[in-house]
Structure formats: C-alpha cells, structure tokens
C-alpha cells in the first residue's frame, strides 16, 4: 500500500550497524578511548559508546538465539469473487464467445507476527490480516497452525491472534517503549520478501513521530531500518531481549527502503493485548471528556510560552472526567503522569495506553501559571449510531452521504475530537458532489447563507430551486468557500 510516500507493508526492520571509527580501530588503550569518547554519566542511564575494535566486534548471536524463535510468519488469504461476464449473463453471447464461469480465487498476503505469551498469543499488524477469510501462523521451527482472531483494531493497526499446541511456545516479554532513547541499539526480526526469517540491527532514529498516515494514533518509533515488503508485524527488540515495537511502515518513494522505518511502541501493543486477553471484542479507549487542538506558534506567543508544545483544551464536556478534574477551555496540557506532551497526538497516545478507571495526573498551563490536576478515565459513553443520509436532487451536494458528527466518529474519521456538525463520509464518484471537489471528511458549515447543523438542514438547503450556490466547508482545519452556478 503506497500513499504520500508512506508504505504499510509486511516487513522486518533492517538497521544499518554504525561504521567503526578509524580512531576507535587504532586506539588500544581503554584510557585513550575514555578521553576520546568520554566516560558514562548518570544522565545516560549507564549507556555508553562502544570502546574499541573488540567491543565493536561483539556478536548479537546470543540475543538472536534467545528472541528469534518467538517471531512467526503470518499467512492471510481471502476468497475473491471472479470478475463478472461483460455480457451481463446473456446465455447466447456467453455460449457464442465461450465464456466459462470462473470459480472464486484466493488472494494471499504475507506478514510477520510476534508471540507475546507462551499460550499462543500472537501480535501482528491489522493491515496484514485485513479482510482475511483464513489466517495461518508458521513458527520458526517449521510448524504451521490455524489461528483464531481474538481482536483486531484498525485504528492502531494491530491484531491479536491465538494458536493452540500441547506445549508452550517461545514468547517475548514486552519492554517499556517509553524508556527508549534516540541512539539506542535495536534488533529487528521478521520475514522480508518471504525469503525466511531475517535479523538485522540498527538504532532508534527518533521517537514520537506523527502524521505518517498509518493509524489514528500518530506516535511511532522511527528507525534507520531497511524495511521491505513481507515484514509488517515483525519484532523490534532492545538489547535486553524485550519487544519494544511492532514494525509497521516505511517512508519510501519507490517501495523499497531508504532508511526511514516506523514501529508501533510496545506500550500501545500492551494495551491492545490486555484488551484481547480479557475477552474484549473491541478496543475501548479511555475517555477523558474533552477535545484538544494543537498549540500553534501564535497561540504559544499569546500565552507567553517560549515555544509551541502541549495540547490546547478546546472543549470540556459537562459532567465528564475533565470537567470533574477542573479542566477549562484554554488550558494547555504539558504532561500526563510526568510524560512530556510535545503535541496533541502525543496526548492521544498517552491516553489510549491507559486503562479504563485509571487516575492520571495532568500538568497544565493556565493564565501563565502551572497547575496539576487529577482525572479518572472512564469508558466512553455509548452514543446512538450516526444515521447516514444520502443527498439527492440537483445540487452541488447530490451524491454525497453525510452524518452528524460525534466524538467517536470524529476520531474514526481522523478529525479533531471536538469537531461537530455535518460531515461527508462517502461520495459517488460520478456525482455532482465529486465533480465540484467535495471530499469525505469535509464538514459542511453553510449553504446559501443557511447554517448547517444537521443532515436534515443540508438536505433542505440542497433542495432549493436555484442555480446559484455558495457554500462553506471545513477541511483539515481550513475554511473553504465556493460560489458557482449549477
């Protein structure tokens, strides 16, 4: 799958091991190397740069032997209906041209997965098993198993499978992805291009990457891995042999690796895994009852902040956890449980990895002063399913299907959680709505001077007997106005 340079594929993270420095090769005395690199400090957490050729030549083999057996291959297949006859079922033409009925065919995909529990619990990417009718798991010792789907969560691109065997499976322990630092060594294990299990090494290139178009939670570990097709769902391992990420996507203009890969942090994996093992059939996100927006440079300047960071409280729902905690519109969330909030996506990720009922500590900025409040997260209140309405008639909106936005629907559509109004969810490709440039995700604000608050309002406005149209839509936070004759 390719779009905007982002490729979600079944890939293993392949890391280019850093080159040996010529000074390090020539230096033989530890003292000289200490002077060259500097000694370890408390701030580094005991981590240090490798000293000399001997340390650079240390092998990852013991770590690979310990962890590789827990990485599996995932085979997903789907029955695809044959293409319909161009003769629309007419028996005369089908007999004349000899058009036999084609049987359904199987379409397969290949990915990787990670055993995270000896009882046969496997984590992989949602996009590896999307729409599959049958999913098989092959272990590193050559055994193959039918799998059962426990939970799939499209929003975070994760799925949890279960396989059965008389004896326990080798499994990896989940590490704390929040403990990762840029520059940490990591191993990646998976099945690139289906060639067989492959182990590679590299470093953590960056943390908290967002807006890469893979899932609703933009918070990824970036690596310099040479990730290639065939390895989504593979394991990202730290030097303690713990799983710290699930390899998911690369940035690429050709489909091959250019050294920019992304992995879902293990703390998100843990949240989904716990939900699956509890028997949940859906991933219920903890709910705080507030909407948030990015802190722009202009907002930061107005609030007296040195630079833009954090998440701006845009809306507080009455009676919700945020309201009870005392949050107010205009507050800026700076940290959650002492974890720094750099941007609004980081807050969404931090909340999603909490459990329902958890009490979180928020540090916020209000009127130039820093405050701390506590909020207890709850399960999101059930809201009635949004009724979709297709706009007919002879207007620029004909052929558009619209719904009333709810916070859950806004999140699913990757709109701001506080977004409200009437959103386009589907378009007929040959309709006037598509012709005039409307898109799924557009929020219709006004038509011919009439404010649009509900799908019914839009249907009434679109039914006007006129050829002159002016309307306003919100797209990606921008207000777009158009005037036309139709």
Of the candidates 10, 112, 157, 252, the residue annotated as catalytic is 157
pLDDT band at 135 (very low <50, low <70, confident <90, very high): very high
Q: HSE (CB half, 13 Å, CA atoms) of 88? A: 0
Distance CA 110, CA 74 (A): 6
Hey, how many other C-beta atoms are within 10 angstroms of the C-beta on 326?
Answer: 15
Whether 435 has a pLDDT exceeding 60, the answer reads yes
The pLDDT of 430-448, averaged and rounded, is: 92
pLDDT at 28: 40
pTM for this prediction: 0.68
pLDDT at 17: 34
pLDDT by residue (tens digit) across 155-189?
Answer: 889 999 999 999 999 999 999 999 999 999 999 89
pLDDT by residue (tens digit) across 186-235?
Answer: 998 988 777 778 888 889 988 876 655 555 556 789 888 666 666 789 99
Place of tokens 């919700």: 320
- To the query of whether residue 157 is one of the catalytic residues in this protein, the response is yes
CB 293 within 8 A of CB 418: yes
Look up residue 15 and give its DSSP letter: B
Hey, how many other C-beta atoms are within 10 angstroms of the C-beta on 157?
Answer: 26
Q: HSE (CB half, 13 Å, CA atoms) of 248? A: 30
Q: Which of 32-36, 37-41, 332-336 has the highest mean pLDDT?
A: 332-336
Whether 269 has a pLDDT exceeding 90, the answer reads yes
pLDDT at 202: 86
Distance CA 25, CA 31 (A): 14
Q: Where are the domains of the chain?
A: 1-25+53-283, 286-379, 389-485
Whether 258 has a pLDDT exceeding 90, the answer reads no
pLDDT at 198: 83
- To the query of whether residue 232 is one of the catalytic residues in this protein, the response is yes
Class of the CATH domain delimited by 286-379: mainly beta
Domains 1-25+53-283 and 286-379 share a fold: no
pLDDT at 256: 54
Whether 95 has a pLDDT exceeding 60, the answer reads no
Distance CA 187, CA 16 (A): 10
pLDDT at 53: 67
Of the candidates 8, 10, 112, 127, the residue annotated as catalytic is 127
Whether 58 has a pLDDT exceeding 50, the answer reads yes
pLDDT at 27: 40
CB 333 within 8 A of CB 364: yes
Whether 11 has a pLDDT exceeding 50, the answer reads no
pLDDT band at 16 (very low <50, low <70, confident <90, very high): very low
pLDDT by residue (tens digit) across 35-54?
Answer: 334 445 445 556 666 666 66
pLDDT at 406: 74
Q: Which residue has the higher pLDDT, 356 or 80?
A: 356
Dig out the tokens for 360 from the structure: 């979180």
Give CA angle at 385 (379, 391), nearest 5°.
145
Of the candidates 112, 147, 177, 232, the residue annotated as catalytic is 232
Pick the CATH number of 1-25+53-283 from 2.60.120.260, 2.40.10.120, 2.60.120.10, 2.10.109.10: 2.40.10.120
pLDDT band at 251 (very low <50, low <70, confident <90, very high): low
Q: Mean pLDDT over all residues of the chain?
A: 81
The pLDDT of 441-461, averaged and rounded, is: 93
pLDDT by residue (tens digit) across 101-127?
Answer: 555 566 577 889 999 999 999 999 999
CB 136 within 8 A of CB 105: no
Q: Which of 5-19, 142-156, 308-322, 348-362 has the lowest mean pLDDT?
A: 5-19
pLDDT band at 389 (very low <50, low <70, confident <90, very high): very high
pLDDT at 371: 95
438-441-445-446 Cα dihedral, nearest 10 degrees:
20
pLDDT at 50: 67
Q: HSE (CB half, 13 Å, CA atoms) of 468? A: 2
CB 65 within 8 A of CB 166: no
Dig out the tokens for 180 from the structure: 């990762």
- To the query of whether residue 383 is one of the catalytic residues in this protein, the response is no
CB 124 within 8 A of CB 111: yes
Distance CA 60, CA 187 (A): 9
The pLDDT of 10-25, averaged and rounded, is: 37
Give SS3 for 22.
helix
Distance CA 441, CA 476 (A): 8
pLDDT by residue (tens digit) across 340-359?
Answer: 999 888 898 899 889 899 99
pLDDT at 26: 42
pLDDT at 206: 86
pLDDT at 335: 96
pLDDT at 23: 41
- Percentage of the chain modeled with pLDDT above 90: 49
Whether 331 has a pLDDT exceeding 70, the answer reads yes
Whether 24 has a pLDDT exceeding 50, the answer reads no
pLDDT at 214: 52
Pick the CATH number of 389-485 from 1.20.120.1770, 2.30.42.10, 3.40.50.150, 3.40.30.10: 2.30.42.10
CB 240 within 8 A of CB 256: no
pLDDT at 261: 80
Helix, strand and coil content of the chain, in percent to the nearest 5, comes to: 20, 35, 45
Hey, how many other C-beta atoms are within 10 angstroms of the C-beta on 394?
Answer: 12
């Amino acid at each position: 799958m390719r779009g905007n340079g982002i490729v979600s594929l079944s890939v293993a993270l392949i890391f280019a091991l850093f080159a040996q420095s010529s000074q390090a090769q020539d230096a033989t005395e530890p003292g000289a190397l200490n002077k060259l690199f500097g000694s370890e400090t408390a701030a580094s957490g005991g981590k240090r740069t490798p000293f000399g050729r001997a340390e650079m030549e240390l092998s990852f083999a013991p770590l690979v032997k310990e962890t590789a057996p827990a990485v599996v291959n995932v085979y997903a297949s789907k029955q695809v209906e044959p293409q319909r006859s161009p003769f629309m079922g007419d028996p005369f033409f089908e007999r004349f041209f000899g058009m036999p009925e084609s049987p359904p065919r199987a379409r397969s995909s290949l990915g990787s997965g990670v055993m995270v529990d000896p009882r046969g619990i496997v984590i992989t990417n949602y996009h590896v098993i999307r729409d599959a009718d049958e999913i098989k798991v092959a272990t590193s010792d050559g055994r193959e198993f039918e799998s059962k789907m426990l939970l799939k969560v499209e929003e975070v691109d994760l799925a949890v499978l279960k396989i059965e065997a008389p004896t326990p499976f080798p499994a990896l322990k989940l590490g704390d992805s929040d403990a990762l630092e840029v520059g940490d060594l990591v191993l990646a294990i998976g099945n690139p291009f289906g060639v067989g299990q492959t182990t590679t090494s590299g470093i953590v290139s960056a943390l908290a990457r967002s807006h890469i178009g893979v899932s609703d939670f933009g918070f990824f570990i970036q690596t310099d891995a040479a990730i290639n097709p065939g390895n989504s769902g593979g394991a990202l391992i730290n030097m303690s042999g713990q799983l710290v990420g699930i390899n998911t996507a690369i940035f690429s203009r050709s489909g091959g690796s250019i050294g920019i890969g992304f992995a879902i942090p293990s703390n998100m994996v843990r949240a989904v895994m716990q939900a699956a093992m509890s028997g949940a059939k859906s991933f219920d996100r903890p709910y705080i009852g507030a909407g948030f927006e990015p802190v722009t440079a202009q907002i930061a300047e107005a609030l007296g902040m040195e630079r833009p960071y954090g998440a701006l409280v845009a809306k507080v729902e009455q009676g919700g956890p945020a309201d009870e905690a005392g949050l107010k519109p205009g507050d800026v969330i700076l940290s959650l449980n002492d974890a720094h909030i750099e941007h609004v996506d980081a807050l969404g990720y931090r909340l999603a990895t909490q459990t329902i009922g958890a009490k979180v500590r928020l540090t916020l900025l209000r009127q130039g002063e820093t405050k701390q409040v506590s909020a207890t997260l709850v399960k999101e209140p059930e809201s009635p399913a949004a009724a979709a309405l297709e706009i007919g008639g002879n207007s620029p909106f004909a052929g558009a299907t619209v719904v009333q936005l709810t916070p859950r629907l806004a999140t699913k559509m990757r709109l701001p959680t506080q977004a409200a109004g009437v959103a386009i969810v589907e378009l007929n490709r040959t309709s006037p709505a598509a012709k005039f440039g409307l898109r799924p995700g557009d929020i219709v604000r006004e038509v011919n001077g009439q404010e649009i608050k509900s799908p019914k309002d839009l249907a009434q406005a679109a039914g006007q007997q006129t050829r002159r149209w002016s309307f306003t839509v919100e797209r990606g936070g921008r207000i777009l106005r158009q005037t036309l004759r139709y």
